Structure 1
Amino acid sequence: MGSRVELYAAIRFDWQRNQMSVRGLADKYGVHRRTVREAIDSPIPPPRRSPPRRTLVLDTVRGAIDAMLAEDLSAPRKQRHTAKRVFERLRAEHHAQVSYSYVAKYVHRRRPQLAAEAAARDAARAGVVAGFVPQCHPPGAEAEVDFADLWVRLAGEMTKCFLFTLRLSHSGRAVHRVFASQGQEAFLEGHVAAFEVLGGVPFDKIRYDNLRSAVHRVLFGRTRSESGRWLAFRAHYGFTAFYCLPGKDGAHEKGGVEGDGGRFRRTHLVPVPAVDTLAELNNRLAAADASEDARRIDGRAQTVGEAFAVEAPLLVALPAERFDTALSLTARVDRYAKIMVRQCQYSVPARLIGTRVRVALSASELQVFDGSRRVATHPRLIARGECRLELDHYLEILLGKPGALPGSTALAQARAAGRFAAAHEAFWAAARGKHGDAAGTRALIEVLLLHRRLPEAAVLAGIRAAVAAGSVSADAVAIEARKHTTATGTTTGTSMTPAAGAPAAGPQRSRAAVVTLGARRRAASLSGLPADGRPAPSVRDYDQLLAHRTGQERSS
């Protein structure tokens, strides 16, 4: 998958930046034109079946081979290990059933890597003069990305979050967003938000640490093994990733964003922000980013906004379609109608118990799909072990087990969120008082099922009207709810506002007038409707039956 993604990314890069033709791309990369068109249409290659990768025996003896090659660094040149000698020692000393060709390839690749690492250590021991060399960044060419820790008082609780920052190197214009994690979905969503705010993408490169969201493995030097989804994302937006050296050696390579994260946090996030949701906090950060256009970076003559005005036209335009940053997963629904996603639990409709569902996980939301149909949507949970349940998902189970409702977690969460309102409580109390606990609870559940097909305001109005009339029937609630829907959706014929000084008495209901057939026909002719050509009703056939019956009685 990785090599195909890299191929597709390279094809899309040449097609977007170098304007190469389909035939030219096919000749350059030695592939069919159909493959080039697939890469142009989508940065993600179509899936293909591949056999499971076998665990190589070589993986178990890598350490032994590295030790032999490390000994060669200090051994005489003519007494160093050859690939054949390494193979012989593995068979004799480690009893490894490994192929000679694999050993030879590994020795050929690994020997220069170990030599370069030893040379770097020797240079460090010799001492290198510390300091910094001034750099210049052309407009629109480069940007830097980093995550920084951040504490937020979220819904009254101190919560550790992460501040995503993308900063243009030339102007210093930055975009900040707060996420609950540093996962790949948050990493990609932060990029998309930044590109859309800036109106484009740097045409040269973006500098990164070795984040797990992008890098699977750090190889020799600046070579990295990147994740397939990250390669597809870069191919979609058409930019190059520059990875800094690990540790302190590479900290200075993106010093602009390193310093900006701390400065922005001290300026706009002190004291600790208190918000109900991260969306609210991100709206604040968007306003803070806009306000920094008047800021002047030390040593620069222009403000951030003035420099960005020069840089913005040089950014590469965004593609027509937005990259889907949600992570696609599958989960199994347990017997409690819950799924486990990233060590948090979410409810789904009870009819899906025992099945597998598809999950689209974004940085702030979780959506559950049964096939192509969306069946549940939850805000993404933050703390490990949290659980979010929707009472509506358990109503079919509760119809058969009404005694489970009072102590259910779903009911407790609905009450805490205000979704189980005082009107529901009043109806439940009245129903249990009239029919008993079990029957009264079933009546409440039937009322809760009305929320699936009627607006919430209409159902609550129907509950209040039914309770006021002394009824605890779900049918009565449905009738009153439909009346409320009709009344609120009609501009004439009903009045929802009482007269001045009069007490509010609810909707004023109008009596339905009796319409005769003749009146309907006259109204139809006046309104221009098609004429009713049906014959007038007659009882002639019934009169014939009556005459036949009278004749039989006389004959008898």
Structure 2
Amino acid sequence: MEVFAAIRRDARVEGMSIRALARKHQVGRATVRRALACAEPPARKTPVRASPRLDPFKAAIDDMLRADLDAPRKQRHTARRIHVRLIEEHAATDVSYSTVRDYVRIRRAQIDLEAGRRVEVMVPQEHAPGAEAEVDFGELFVILAGVKTKVFLFTFRLSYSGKAVHRIYATQGQEAFLEGHIAAFQEIGGIPTRHIRYDNLTSTVTRVVNAHGRERVENDRWVLFRSHFGFDPFYCQPGIAGAHEKGGVEGDVGRFRRQHLVPMPVVDSLDELNEKVRAWDTSDDKRRISSRIRTVGEDFATEQTHLAPLPVEGFDPGLMLHPMVDRSAMITVRMARYSVPARFIHRRVRVSLRVSEVVVFDGRTQIARHPRVVTRGGQSVSLDHYLEVLKGKPGALPGSTVLAQARESGVFTPAHEAFWANARRRLGDAAGTRELIDVLLLHRSMTADEVEAGLLAAVSVGAVSADVVAVEARLQAVRDAAAGSGSERHLVAQASGVEQRDADQRVDKRRKVVSLTERLLLDPEAVIAGLPPDNRPLPSMEKYQQLLGRRTGTDNQPSPNESGAPR
């Protein structure tokens, strides 16, 4: 292009001849004449490279490609496999792999056309605001609590704006599928009005009626879910043939994974990871898709007003199960075991299996809640579920699984340990453990902080009674209520501080609580820490003995006096 322009300029400005132009620009005269005749140079001719070494084997390659027309998609010849077969079956040792690869790339498409196979042509589509969305799952690995773990990325993408909502779950079961939808609907503040595009997931589709049509037999719970939220599904063609029908979300899964999840995130829990995912989704609102003028967030602001409103009633995304409680007060859900209150042994309960937790109901009453155990054979037990049983069998507590898990989770604190040690030393193992169980029962009506404050107060004065812990816990509740109400008092009262001082004085007068019954457990002359000495004289029964000495006979008939007359 530059040579043609220079030739035409010299001819126009300098008036040079064809011979002079050819000599100056070092080109042939024919090239000079073409430049003077047309400003655009002719297209370069692509040389056709001959492959004489491959010519004897082209028929064999064509036969292999024609055989692929009826073969399963995942068992068709690759160029490398064809090259290996040519060497093994036809002794084509002089033919390189690159030569075979270039021929197969062109010839395979030609054979498909000769066989009458349909060539897919993508037709550009327009999406109305708030009308459509796409959903898909993707796989990835994270370092979860120090262990490389396979997890699943749920992606919900609005077709108009490209606004996407992502969540990461330990499973891609129906409970995760439904919970991801609820999180997405709440995040965007509405529901698409036309349809949402899906693969033929088992969470939604029970059976594909027609592989080339859209008729499906849907899962009953999925039908209930979409009926509750009021949207219609659009099912893509099965397999790779339908991947392009929701190409937006397919590409977004890969983009999000490459941009935010490389290298593998290192987290302690999936809740921590999902907090990061929410922040990444917010930052992605500032990006532009392809050559669009506006950002994703700006397009979403327009689209959000076209979404259908959310329903007023909530929906439980958990999978409903009805296991039987065994004699250990445990139920088995997805190869993991969970405890329930012991009074439900040999009864059937209702379980809502959710992504991160398991909630157990008796009718409409919630009786237990556990974090979901994803390890096969794992278990989650609560000490509170066995307190009534342990009160009758106190010897079973020290070596129990429930106590070990309570210590590991921090529910059984050092304050509990100190109180239990004192109680067993002073009352004996059985009686001391029963006092501890009475303390643990206080957690059902008081907060953990209040009970722990009561335990610390009881340990500080050497008390080993659950009643002392209960009194001190109530005093802590009074102090918390007084402190909490301080910000709501009138400013004048806050400035004077009279009410606060009065409350503090009342609490201080009752702060130290001692158990009077503990004198019977030790030497009467021993001084218990914090217990004031008792200097009162012992009670005397002498006057009562005098009265009894004057009584004779029975209570129904008075005794006679010395003269025989009744007194």
Following superposition, the deviation at residue 123 of structure 1 comes to: 9.3
Q: Equivalents in 2 of 1:172, 1:256: separation in Å?
A: 8
Give the corresponding residue for 1:420.
412
Give the corresponding residue for 2:445.
453
Give the corresponding residue for 2:128.
138
Following superposition, the deviation at residue 334 of structure 1 comes to: 0.7
* Pair 1:494–1:376, CA change in 2 (3 A): farther
Q: Equivalents in 2 of 1:160, 1:427: separation in Å?
A: 44
> For 2:463, what is the secondary structure of its paired residue?
coil
Give the corresponding residue for 1:361.
353
> For 2:469, what is the secondary structure of its paired residue?
helix
Q: Equivalents in 1 of 2:480, 2:510: separation in Å?
A: 14
> For 1:159, what is the secondary structure of its paired residue?
strand
* Pair 1:240–1:372, CA change in 2 (3 A): closer
The 5-angstrom pairing of residues 1-16 of structure 1 reads none
Q: Is the CA contact (8 Å cut-off) linking 2:156 and 2:181 kept in structure 1?
A: yes
* Pair 1:319–1:455, CA change in 2 (3 A): closer
Give the corresponding residue for 1:291.
283
Q: Equivalents in 2 of 1:232, 1:338: separation in Å?
A: 30
Encode CA deviations 1:378-436: one digit per residue, 9 max, x unaligned.
Answer: 12222222210011111112122222212211111111111110001111111222233
Give the corresponding residue for 2:555.
none
Give the corresponding residue for 2:456.
464
TM-score, length-scaled by structure 2 = 0.64
Letter matched to residue 165 of structure 1? T
* Pair 1:511–1:427, CA change in 2 (3 A): closer
List runs of 5+ in structure 1 lacking aligned partners: 1-121, 499-505, 513-551
Q: Equivalents in 2 of 1:123, 1:382: separation in Å?
A: 50
* Pair 1:348–1:281, CA change in 2 (3 A): same
Give the corresponding residue for 2:239.
247
Q: Equivalents in 2 of 1:481, 1:510: separation in Å?
A: 12
Q: Equivalents in 2 of 1:260, 1:350: separation in Å?
A: 49
Give the corresponding residue for 1:338.
330
Q: Equivalents in 2 of 1:285, 1:511: separation in Å?
A: 49
Letter matched to residue 388 of structure 1? S
* Pair 1:206–1:510, CA change in 2 (3 A): closer
Letter matched to residue 356 of structure 1? R
* Pair 1:495–1:415, CA change in 2 (3 A): farther
Query: Of 155, 163, 176, which aligns to 1:186?
Result: 176
Encode CA deviations 1:148-183: one digit per residue, 9 max, x unaligned.
Answer: 113233344333221111101121111111222112
Correspondence 1:173 to 2:160: no
Q: Equivalents in 2 of 1:496, 1:149: separation in Å?
A: 59
> For 1:200, what is the secondary structure of its paired residue?
coil
Q: Equivalents in 2 of 1:475, 1:153: separation in Å?
A: 47
Q: Is the CA contact (8 Å cut-off) linking 2:320 and 2:353 kept in structure 1?
A: yes
Correspondence 1:311 to 2:325: no
Give the corresponding residue for 1:208.
198
* Pair 1:411–1:315, CA change in 2 (3 A): same
Encode CA deviations 1:305-344: one digit per residue, 9 max, x unaligned.
Answer: 2222222222222233233323322121111111111222
Q: Equivalents in 1 of 2:504, 2:168: separation in Å?
A: 45
Give the corresponding residue for 1:347.
339
Give the corresponding residue for 2:509.
509
Q: Is the CA contact (8 Å cut-off) linking 1:365 and 1:380 kept in structure 2?
A: yes
Give the corresponding residue for 1:400.
392
Q: Equivalents in 1 of 2:227, 2:477: separation in Å?
A: 50
Give the corresponding residue for 1:117.
none
Give the corresponding residue for 2:524.
none
Encode CA deviations 1:488-538: one digit per residue, 9 max, x unaligned.
Answer: 33364768989xxxxxxx9622599xxxxxxxxxxxxxxxxxxxxxxxxxx
* Pair 1:451–1:319, CA change in 2 (3 A): closer
Q: Equivalents in 2 of 1:124, 1:487: separation in Å?
A: 88
Give the corresponding residue for 2:254.
262
Q: Equivalents in 2 of 1:299, 1:249: separation in Å?
A: 27
Give the corresponding residue for 2:321.
329
Following superposition, the deviation at residue 357 of structure 1 comes to: 1.1
Q: Is the CA contact (8 Å cut-off) linking 1:155 and 1:277 kept in structure 2?
A: yes
Encode CA deviations 1:114-136: one digit per residue, 9 max, x unaligned.
Answer: xxxxxxxx999533335533333
List runs of 5+ in structure 2 lacking aligned partners: 1-111, 484-498, 513-559
Following superposition, the deviation at residue 263 of structure 1 comes to: 1.0
Greater Cα shift, 408-417 or 299-308: 299-308
* Pair 1:156–1:436, CA change in 2 (3 A): farther
Give the corresponding residue for 1:537.
none
Correspondence 1:164 to 2:154: yes
> For 1:332, what is the secondary structure of its paired residue?
coil
Give the corresponding residue for 1:430.
422
Following superposition, the deviation at residue 485 of structure 1 comes to: 2.3
Following superposition, the deviation at residue 258 of structure 1 comes to: 0.8
Correspondence 1:154 to 2:173: no
Give the corresponding residue for 2:531.
none
Q: Equivalents in 2 of 1:374, 1:124: separation in Å?
A: 67
Letter matched to residue 250 of structure 1? G
* Pair 1:510–1:309, CA change in 2 (3 A): closer
Encode CA deviations 1:7-53: one digit per residue, 9 max, x unaligned.
Answer: xxxxxxxxxxxxxxxxxxxxxxxxxxxxxxxxxxxxxxxxxxxxxxx
Q: Equivalents in 1 of 2:216, 2:265: separation in Å?
A: 37
> For 1:366, what is the secondary structure of its paired residue?
strand
Give the corresponding residue for 1:219.
209
> For 2:322, what is the secondary structure of its paired residue?
strand
Give the corresponding residue for 2:101.
none
Higher relative contact order structure (alpha carbons within 8 Å, sequence separation ≥ 6): 1
> For 2:126, what is the secondary structure of its paired residue?
coil
Q: Is the CA contact (8 Å cut-off) linking 2:472 and 2:511 kept in structure 1?
A: no
Letter matched to residue 450 of structure 1? L
Q: Is the CA contact (8 Å cut-off) linking 2:475 and 2:507 kept in structure 1?
A: no
Q: Equivalents in 1 of 2:319, 2:272: separation in Å?
A: 23
Q: Is the CA contact (8 Å cut-off) linking 2:134 and 2:196 kept in structure 1?
A: yes
> For 1:463, what is the secondary structure of its paired residue?
helix
> For 1:178, what is the secondary structure of its paired residue?
strand
Number of aligned residue pairs: give it: 389
> For 2:349, what is the secondary structure of its paired residue?
strand
Q: Equivalents in 1 of 2:449, 2:312: separation in Å?
A: 40
Following superposition, the deviation at residue 241 of structure 1 comes to: 1.1
Q: Is the CA contact (8 Å cut-off) linking 1:494 and 1:508 kept in structure 2?
A: no
> For 1:294, what is the secondary structure of its paired residue?
coil
Q: Is the CA contact (8 Å cut-off) linking 2:196 and 2:233 kept in structure 1?
A: yes
Encode CA deviations 1:59-110: one digit per residue, 9 max, x unaligned.
Answer: xxxxxxxxxxxxxxxxxxxxxxxxxxxxxxxxxxxxxxxxxxxxxxxxxxxx
Following superposition, the deviation at residue 479 of structure 1 comes to: 2.4
Q: Equivalents in 2 of 1:495, 1:149: separation in Å?
A: 62
Q: Equivalents in 1 of 2:180, 2:288: separation in Å?
A: 25
Following superposition, the deviation at residue 355 of structure 1 comes to: 0.9
* Pair 1:371–1:201, CA change in 2 (3 A): closer
Q: Equivalents in 2 of 1:290, 1:158: separation in Å?
A: 27
RMSD over aligned CA atoms reads 2.7
Correspondence 1:277 to 2:272: no
Q: Is the CA contact (8 Å cut-off) linking 1:423 and 1:464 kept in structure 2?
A: yes
Greater Cα shift, 483-492 or 359-368: 483-492
Give the corresponding residue for 1:199.
189
